[in-house]
Structure 1
Amino acid sequence: MEAELRSNTSTPISVQSPGLLGTALRGCLGSLDGACIEKLLLHCASALESNDVTLAQQVMWVLNNVASALGDPNQRLTSWFLRALISRASRVYPTSMNFNTGNALQRRLMSITELVAYVDLIPWHRFGFCASNSAIFRIIEGYSKVHILDFSITYCMQWPTLVDVLGKRPEGPPSLRITVPSVRPPVPPFLNVSSEEVGLRLANFARSRDVLFELRMIEADSPSSVKNSYCNSLLSKLNILDLDLMDDEALVINCQNWIRYLPEEHKDAFLNIIKGLNPRIIIIVDEDCDLNSSSSLAARITNGFNYLWIPFDSLETFLPKESSQRIEYEADIGYKIENIIGFEGSQRIERLECGIKLSQRMNNIGFSSVAFGEESVKEVKELLDEHASGWGMKQDNDMLVLTWKGHNSVYATAWVPNGYED
């Protein structure tokens, strides 16, 4: 297990194991490293699924003595997994759980300046921005009009860099239209300004770079309305007429941490629709972990725990334990953990699939992968040089993968429909 590699944490167990807890602690006596914490989390989940409230409480009690929101990375990660398990249990056994996990999650609205700092903290988002922008710049060479359909969760933070580069294009900048959905998945980060304000700021920046710019909206129902109506509404608007597509513009479709939020029954439908728009290129970037709709609770705990330690561990390298910036960033990961572990069915909106499975899905639908060029690889490497030495990049066939200490974290892929004709 990857958790066994993270054994720098050695938390003494200062309790006498109750009878029912003996199995859960077998092999972990003396200390709790990442592998033992994972084992306890799995025992707790198993107890909850088998309605063994007593054992679940006992395991939670041990985890509660290990977890610390201000401890080392394993302890901080454990505190969020424990919170998620308690949240799950409290909905089934509302009077049985009595643990103090702090105040309820309250997400703060960020200013644009704070969002910039958030995105720059670790290369989790910037890796995808950099790889995508470089591939887009190459594919639109020679076009005087560019239209990007942007499906992302970071409020167009990707585009100032591309606008800046387009403004310096030797043959002159193209006109640029970016179309975004009017609503986004209800996940962090949250911004305190409207999409219209974001568009206005982007337009002002583009004007300073002599780039003719327009931000358009795809009007769709709110995700909080009737189940799946948001996706149905969005998919119905992805057509040539509603999108105002033009034959003389290069169409680019950009999906950054987006497809995971589509219900399983809508993922293939979305991809088939955008394939029919005949884009010049489709970029898909997401986190390289398997937490899809069919994953069992045990699989989600194992995969999530062995994956989400990456941002916790990377933040440890340069931010103090009490850093408010670090605590807020980790809270956003905690928001994700609570959804992954605490909810089922339509309430669970985090449905990640790893890069390999995404590639299989794309091939089955009728897409061909496109390799990132040498210039893209160079730019990503230069970006990573700005961050801690633990960050790296590897190439897996046509996929670029961001790594932390050798472990996959985020993948970037580029695609065209089979038989694409320019």
Structure 2
Amino acid sequence: MMGFPKGDLKELLIACARAIDEEGSSIATDVMLQELRKLVSVSGEPLQRLGAYMVEGLAARLASYCTTDRVSGCKKPKMKKTSIEERISHMETLHDVCRYFRSGYLSANGAIKEAVRGEDKIHIIDFHITGGSQLVGLIRELSRRKGGPPTVRITGIDDSVPTYAAGSLLEEAGMRLQFVACKYGVALEFHAAAISVEELEGAHLAVIPGEALVVNFNLGLHRIPDDTVSTANHRDRILRLVKSLSPKVVTLVEQELDTNTGPFKQRFMETLDYYAAVFESMDLTLISRGEKREQRDYYGDFFEYINQAPPSDDSTRIGIEQHCLGREVVSIVACEGAERVERHEPFHKWKVRLTMAGFTPSQLNSDLNDRIRKRLQSHNSNYLCDERDGVFYLGWKDRPLVVTSAWH
């Protein structure tokens, strides 16, 4: 109990995680948690803010241990639900501040646009549509196509973590996309597939012969359970199902970290390293407190989001950290088994899964990715933008945080 590193937040977080994993509840872990709570703050420096959510996760993990089976005894911490409007607002503000997220969407949209060039009828299946913001830019780009826009049908699949928001994201996404399509003169039909991925079958996707099929996995494939959660292995099942539909292109945007199958201590260290970079990037890209934020238009220019001034007030930042990033951190740290919804995998593991499902890599639009890189780095030279072997890595400093790839 006397040997833990007092005052050093990072080292104390690691020591506490190790002690909880090895010892469970003890005098030492109780003392470490008490010490940690003195060092963390949701309005402090990046590591202090991240530490607040890691401590919440550690405390929930410790509280859920039982004497017979510490791992399966873990329970999901209670999360305050937010409204649909708040959920979408928090997510879109996060993507404004952490520009590598929305840049990943733009890169994926570029691959979709190339794959459906010359097609008159397009069907887009989006497996994590949230508020539909990624498809807003795509609809606008399609509206500018020479010869007129195609007709577009979108099948939206709801957030696989419905407890994160009260109400249906699908209804809101459908209304927003219909509004955008009407504004830009694109004939759009929206179909809401309000069904869990565990129950999803090909018939729910309403694929029609003659339409150019596009499938988009946008920061959601890692939430579909695999064989470590269920023998059904829905993650690989969904990939095989998508392949059987013969899509023109499949786009994958995922966070670049490994929180799925490794032991808890490894997962904790990976989470600490990844989210420390995210929280740091937020601070260094926020505008000064006295500067007025520019008017925002979600439906504007393809690159307009990069030029928007992010929010400067603490309440907005705390909101997006709590309702977006904090939820992810707590899930990764506190939960096991089916209760843990955040199960990220690095790109090399996604590549194996996609290849085993029968997919072949498709090229991204390198010219577009170069434009994205120049725009991002004109705002902050710390942004990482690197295209390797047809895959686009985006991140902060030397840490890749988001990876975009395309497949067929």
What is the TM-score normalised by the length of structure 2?
0.82
Cα separation, 2, equivalents of 1:53 and 1:121: 40
Cα separation, 1, equivalents of 2:102 and 2:94: 10
**Does the aligned pair in 1 maintain the 2:9–2:39 contact within 8 Å?**
no
Q: 1:64 aligns with which of 13, 37, 58?
A: 37
1:215 offset after TM fit, Å? Answer: 0.7
Q: Does 1:359 align with 2:351?
A: yes
Q: 1:149 aligns with which of 125, 140, 148?
A: 125
1:343 offset after TM fit, Å? Answer: 1.1
Question: Which residue in the other structure is 1:342 paired with?
Answer: 334
Question: Which residue in the other structure is 1:40 paired with?
Answer: 15
The verdict on how the C-alpha distance between 1:207 and 1:62 changes in structure 2, with shifts beyond 3 A counting, is: same
The verdict on how the C-alpha distance between 1:312 and 1:142 changes in structure 2, with shifts beyond 3 A counting, is: same
Range that drifts further, 177-186 or 147-156: 177-186
What is the identity, as a one-letter code, of the residue corresponding to 1:284? L
1:81 offset after TM fit, Å? Answer: 0.8
Q: Does 1:389 align with 2:376?
A: no
Question: Which residue in the other structure is 2:198 paired with?
Answer: 232
**Does the aligned pair in 2 maintain the 1:44–1:59 contact within 8 Å?**
no
Higher relative contact order (CA 8 A, sep 6+): 2
Secondary structure of 2:197 counterpart: helix
Cα separation, 2, equivalents of 1:77 and 1:151: 28
Question: Which residue in the other structure is 2:206 paired with?
Answer: 244
Question: Which residue in the other structure is 1:405 paired with?
Answer: 397
**Does the aligned pair in 2 maintain the 1:41–1:301 contact within 8 Å?**
no
Consecutive unaligned residues in structure 1, runs of 5 or more:
1-19, 95-102, 221-229, 417-422
What is the identity, as a one-letter code, of the residue corresponding to 1:108? T
**Does the aligned pair in 1 maintain the 2:12–2:32 contact within 8 Å?**
no
Q: Does 1:185 align with 2:147?
A: no
What is the identity, as a one-letter code, of the residue corresponding to 2:281? S
Question: Which residue in the other structure is 1:254 paired with?
Answer: 216
Once the two structures are superposed, what CA deviation does each residue of 1:7-37 show, in whole Å capped at 9, x if it has no partner?
xxxxxxxxxxxxx231x33xxx7x6264x24
What is the identity, as a one-letter code, of the residue corresponding to 1:329? I
What is the identity, as a one-letter code, of the residue corresponding to 2:353? R
The verdict on how the C-alpha distance between 1:43 and 1:282 changes in structure 2, with shifts beyond 3 A counting, is: same
Cα separation, 1, equivalents of 2:352 and 2:265: 24
**Does the aligned pair in 2 maintain the 1:128–1:256 contact within 8 Å?**
no
The verdict on how the C-alpha distance between 1:183 and 1:105 changes in structure 2, with shifts beyond 3 A counting, is: closer
**Does the aligned pair in 1 maintain the 2:158–2:168 contact within 8 Å?**
no
What is the identity, as a one-letter code, of the residue corresponding to 1:57? D
Cα separation, 1, equivalents of 2:378 and 2:174: 28
Q: 1:377 aligns with which of 362, 369, 391?
A: 369
Q: 2:262 aligns with which of 288, 291, 295?
A: 295
The verdict on how the C-alpha distance between 1:163 and 1:366 changes in structure 2, with shifts beyond 3 A counting, is: same
1:219 offset after TM fit, Å? Answer: 3.7
**Does the aligned pair in 2 maintain the 1:38–1:302 contact within 8 Å?**
no
Question: Which residue in the other structure is 2:272 paired with?
Answer: 305
Question: Which residue in the other structure is 2:2 paired with?
Answer: 21
Q: Does 1:75 align with 2:51?
A: no
Cα separation, 2, equivalents of 1:171 and 1:68: 55
Secondary structure of 1:295 counterpart: coil
**Does the aligned pair in 1 maintain the 2:131–2:169 contact within 8 Å?**
no
What is the identity, as a one-letter code, of the residue corresponding to 1:59? M
What is the TM-score normalised by the length of structure 1?
0.80
What is the identity, as a one-letter code, of the residue corresponding to 2:116? I
Please identify the structure whose Cα radius of gyration is greater. 1
Question: Which residue in the other structure is 2:135 paired with?
Answer: 159
Q: Does 1:325 align with 2:316?
A: yes
Cα separation, 2, equivalents of 1:183 and 1:65: 35
Once the two structures are superposed, what CA deviation does each residue of 1:170-220 show, in whole Å capped at 9, x if it has no partner?
1211001110125642365x4777533432332232122121101112242
Cα separation, 2, equivalents of 1:365 and 1:197: 32
Once the two structures are superposed, what CA deviation does each residue of 1:80-125 show, in whole Å capped at 9, x if it has no partner?
111111111223379xxxxxxxx97534323566654343222143
- Alignment RMSD: 2.5
Range that drifts further, 208-217 or 37-46: 37-46
Question: Which residue in the other structure is 1:108 paired with?
Answer: 82
Question: Which residue in the other structure is 1:196 paired with?
Answer: 171
The verdict on how the C-alpha distance between 1:122 and 1:386 changes in structure 2, with shifts beyond 3 A counting, is: farther
Question: Which residue in the other structure is 1:225 paired with?
Answer: none
Cα separation, 2, equivalents of 1:153 and 1:373: 22
1:136 offset after TM fit, Å? Answer: 0.6
Cα separation, 1, equivalents of 2:389 and 2:163: 31
The verdict on how the C-alpha distance between 1:122 and 1:341 changes in structure 2, with shifts beyond 3 A counting, is: same
